[in-house]
Amino acid sequence: MADAMVATDLRDAGSQYIVIDDCWQVSRDERGAIVPDPQRFPSGMKALADYVHSKGLKFGLYSDAGARTCQGRPGSNGYEVEDARQYAAWGVDYLKYDWCDTDGVDPKIAYPTMRDALKATGRSIVFSMCEWGRSTPWTWARGVAHLWRTTGDIQDCWSCPGSFVRILDRQAGLEKYAGPGGWNDPDMLEVGNGGMTTSEYRAHFSFWSLLAAPLMAGNDLRAMSEATREILGNRDVIAIDQDPLGAQGRRVRDDGEREVWAKDLADGGRAVILFNRGQVAASMAVSWQEIGLPYDTEPRVRDLWAHRDLGRTTSPFVATVPPHDVVMIRVTP
- Tell the burial category of 200 from Cβ atoms under 10 Å away from its Cβ (0-12, 13-18, 19+): buried
Catalytic member of 3, 106, 153, 267: 153
> Distance between the two ends of the chain, CA-based, in angstroms?
40
Element (H, E) at 46: helix 45-54
Taking the C-alpha atoms of residue 130 and residue 185, their distance in angstroms, rounded to an integer, is 9
**Cα 288 to chain centroid, rounded:** 28
Q: Is 98 a catalytic residue?
A: yes
153 included as an active-site residue: yes
CA atoms of 96 and 89, how far apart (whole Å): 17
For residue 163, give every residue at least 6 positions away whose Cβ sits within 8 Å of its Cβ, in sequence order, or none.
154, 155, 157
217 touches 189 (CB < 8 A): yes
CA-to-CA distance for 210 and 46, rounded, in angstroms?
Answer: 35
Catalytic residue among 98, 156, 185, 264: 98
Residues classed as catalytic: 98, 153
